[in-house]
Structure 1
Amino acid sequence: MKRLLDLIKNKYFLVTVAFVVWMIFFDRNDLFSQYQYHQQLNKLEQERDFYKTETANVNRDLDELSSDKVKLEKFAREKYLMKKDNEDVFVVEREKAE
C-alpha cells in the first residue's frame, strides 16, 4: 500500500500519466481520430481499386469499339437506341415490382 502511495505521489509518474491520458483522449490525433482516419483510408483504397477496374474495362471497351465496326454498331443500337433509316425500334420497359 505504501508503494502505491509513493508511486502516486511521484511527480514524474503523475506527469507521465497525464501525458498519456492527454495523448489518448484529448489530443488532435487521439485514438478515436486515428480510427476514423484508418476507416477513411480503407474506404478510399476500395474506391481507388473500383475506379481502376472500371477504367480498365472502359479502355478495353473503347479499344474493341474503335477496332470493330460490328461491335460499334451493336453498342450504338443498345445504348443510344440508334437505328437504320428503314428500321423501327420498339423499347420494352418492364414494370418495377414494388
Structure 2
Amino acid sequence: MNLNKFKNIYIIISAIFIVWMLFLDANSYFSTHIELNRQIELLEKQKANLQNSIKKDKESIKKFSSMEELEKFARERYFMKKENEEIYIIEYADSLKTTDNE
C-alpha cells in the first residue's frame, strides 16, 4: 500500500511539472513558439522586400548593359560630360533647399 501512494505522488508531481513547463514558465513551449512565429513572419516580409530589390537591381543592370543608357545615366545623375563639352545646370527656386521650403 505504501508503494501506491508514492506512484500517485510521482504522477501528480510529473503532471504539475509538465503543465508548468508547457503553459506557465517564462520559457514555456507556447510562448517561445509564438515568438518564433512572429520572427518568421518578420523575416518573410524582409525576404519579400529584398527579392523586390534584387528584381529592380537586375532590371537596372539589364538597362545599363548598353553604353547609350549608361552614358545617359552618368550625364543625368553625375553630371559627367564628353571632351570639349560644357554642361549648364539649371535649378529652379522651388527645387532649391532653403530654410523657407524645407
Alignment match, 1:22: 21
Deviations 1:37-84 (A, max 9, x none): 111111111111111121121112111211x33211121123333223
Aligned to 2:37, the other structure's residue is in SS state helix
The one-letter code of the counterpart of 1:52 is Q
Equivalenced residue count is: 88
% identity of equivalent residues? 22
Alignment match, 2:78: 80
1:89 shift after superposition: 4.3
Is the CA contact 1:65–1:72 (under 8 Å) kept in the aligned structure 2? yes
Deviations 1:7-48 (A, max 9, x none): xxx644553243122222326453322222111111111111
Runs of 4+ in 1 over 4 A off after TM superposition: none
Alignment match, 2:96: 94
Aligned to 1:51, the other structure's residue is in SS state helix
Gaps of 5+ in 1: 1-9
Output the CA distance in 2 between the equivalents of 1:37 and 1:82: 50
Gaps of 5+ in 2: 1-7
Further displaced range: 80-89 or 51-60: 80-89
Further displaced range: 23-32 or 56-65: 23-32
Is the CA contact 2:79–2:87 (under 8 Å) kept in the aligned structure 1? no
The one-letter code of the counterpart of 2:96 is R
